[in-house]
Chains A and B, each alone.
Chain A
Amino acid sequence: MDSTIIASAAINGLLLGGIYTLVACGLTLIYGVLHIINFAHGSMLMLAMFGVYYLLTLLGIDPYLSMFIMVPAMYVLGYLLYKGLIGRLSSGKDENILLVTLGLSILIENLALMFFKGDSRTILVSYSDRMIELGPTLVPLPKLISFVVAMVLCALLGLFMQRTDTGRAIRAVAKERVGARLVGIDVDRIFAISYGIGLATLGAAASLMMPIFYVSPTVGHVFALVAFTVVVLGGMGSFLGAIVGGLIIGLTESFGGLYLGESLGQIGISLIFILILLFRPSGLFGARQ
């Protein structure tokens, strides 16, 4: 296989990985702060992508611009979901929340099936076909834009966590819940905010992904598995892990497709997931148990 094909696969993988990073950031934030595995993450992303789709087809809003609508909308959705449902159950067993978020994902996926029907959609904008030269390869412009924006958003999220009061409060709660409460932080509000931010990242990711991916009600599973793999690989609760993990998984998917073909290529992600859980569940950067 000649080097330009390999380089092309590598570049495409990295670009893809950048977007996965954004999705994983939300999941790892939710886990790091609330200690729950948000099984609904994949179907929420699917929902957001439909949102972007309809904003374009019904209102003509460019997907990248619709981010400014989707992000706050998903934030509000997350906040309300936490307050209305998840918050009430988070004091139970670990597995209960997993089941609840599973139930939620079933609900969302089938609601989507009901309203949007089963066919796959994608969107086309005027610049969908523009190709940009990147080293030895040509990449579609949307992919490049999405990658850059995703990285910028990750950086912004990181800054938010480091520099703002809310961000500091979130980190405090993630590290030491009781202590945070003792210094006067409204822990429950932080939980709701964190869950909101977690879903808000999906709103952004959806805007970035719609020009590149297909969406149908059943893609939630696929995205969920990818997101979980990234987070588990990088380490639950670690942002650095989400970034590194995202890039690795993007590369895995790209090279998997290259060497193993369309069908078998998907196996790379699941295998990584299994291997990490079996041999290093704390991931690359996660806290050792």
Chain B
Amino acid sequence: MSTDAAKSQPAQREATARPAPRSELLPLPWKLHLTVLLIALVYPFVFPSSFMLNFGVLALFYAFIGQSWNIAGGFAGQLSFGHVAFFGVGAYAATIAQMRFGFSPWLGLPIAALAGALVGGIIGVLSFRAGLKGSYFALITLAFAEVLRIVSNSVSITGGGLGMLIPMKPGAANLQFAERSGFYFLILVLVAISIALAEWLRRSKFGAQLAAIRENEDAAKALGINVFREKVKVMLLSGAIGGVGGCFFAQYFLYIDPLIAFGVDKSVEMLLVSMIGGAGTVYGPMVGALLLALVSDGTRALTQIQGLSLVLYGALLVIIIAYLPNGLIDLFARIKARFSKGRN
């Protein structure tokens, strides 16, 4: 495969690779949002079993934290391999506030958001000041997450390697729900907010500037965009969302430890659901999360083989990058376009 020849004709390659025009910055039809919302609202009544509710919660959870990655990685083009850092910081911040300082568990949500945003801001400022982009940025985020893992493993306020348990005290005041559907609706609200945020990004000046930064930083600068400032802003936002995800996770599972909070697995999952679903799209993470949850539960139900779902997912990532870089949503869009062409 001749790489130089391919490089000399980038325009042609791109044109054939993406035949359908993509309007990135136009709002999505409200009917779509309404339909998805209705389905999500009705789901727990149609499938009230514990197993199905858990499936729903996890799918929505991954959609939520996937959106955190998506905003930085998909919309703004800042690929990170260490997004778990925000998740973990949020989880620990909320849990520490509750367990060590006696704060109300509900306060954990804004605390986690702030903690995640703070870490996002720090990582952003440090990395972007140093001019890190692309692969180097991805690698440094990995290192930051690893540092946080080691620190949380070594200090007493986080419980060190033993982690932290939240005592089970069901009741809405404790941000724990006797009925699993309580958690379902909570995460649904969070996901709805994240979708609204992504939709706002599509329509706003900020979102347009992020898209410009993603596509071509120099050109963005030349048009007056303060690239550094906007990139830091997106890290703040992305970090906040990741943090809130961490708080939810801690309340749902009532346990966190350094590996869960800062291990590479979550970073990978946040990235995977977005890339496979469609990076830079509003519903990409949700599509990816649904698929992940399906594959995960499906493989667990059919076989006892540990790790099979991620094998499939890793393979899917490779295939998507190679053949469908805009993710599954792009595939759906193309199929739809072909159908409407067929009708006309």
CB within 8 Å of B: which residues of A? 37, 85, 87-92, 94-96, 98-100, 102-114, 117-118, 177-178, 181, 187-188, 191, 217, 221, 225, 228-229, 232, 261, 263-264, 266-267, 270-271, 273-274, 277-279, 281
Contact = CB atoms under 8 A, between A and B. Distances in A.
Contact of B143 (A105, A109, A274): A274
B38 interface: no
Contacts of A110: 307-308, 310-311, 314
Most buried by B among A104, A274, A279: A274
B284 to A, nearest CB: 15
A41 B171 CA distance: 48
B322 to A, nearest CB: 6
Contacts of B138: 95, 98
A281 B136 contact: yes
A55 B140 CA distance: 36
Most buried by A among B268, B306, B307: B307
A3 B134 CA distance: 44
A178 B308 contact: no
B142 interface: yes
B237 to A, nearest CB: 21
Interface residues of B, number: 50
Interface in B144-158: 144, 146-147, 150-151, 153-154
B143 A273 contact: yes
B186 interface: no
A105 B310 CA distance: 11
A270 B306 contact: no
Contacts of B249: none
A225 B267 CA distance: 15
A217 B318 CA distance: 20
Interface stretch (B2-10, B29-37, B225-233, B239-247): B2-10
A281 B130 contact: yes
A91 B318 contact: no
Contacts of B268: 102, 106
A188 B3 contact: yes
B159 to A, nearest CB: 13
**4 closest residue pairs by CB, A with B:** A106-B314, A113-B307, A107-B314, A103-B317
A37 B311 CA distance: 21
A221 B308 CA distance: 19
Interface in B253-299: 264, 268, 271-272, 275
B173 interface: no
Contact of A102 (B81, B147, B153, B322): B81
Nearest to A274: B143
13 contacts: A85-B318, A88-B322, A102-B81, A102-B268, A103-B315, A111-B307, A225-B142, A263-B153, A264-B151, A270-B143, A277-B130, A277-B136, A277-B143
Given A103-B321, A107-B314, A264-B150, 16 more contacts: A88-B1, A95-B135, A95-B138, A98-B138, A102-B271, A103-B317, A106-B310, A110-B308, A118-B306, A188-B2, A261-B154, A263-B150, A270-B150, A277-B132, A278-B132, A281-B136
A35 to B, nearest CB: 10
Contacts of A273: 139-140, 143
B172 to A, nearest CB: 38
Most buried by B among A95, A178, A266: A95
B127 interface: yes
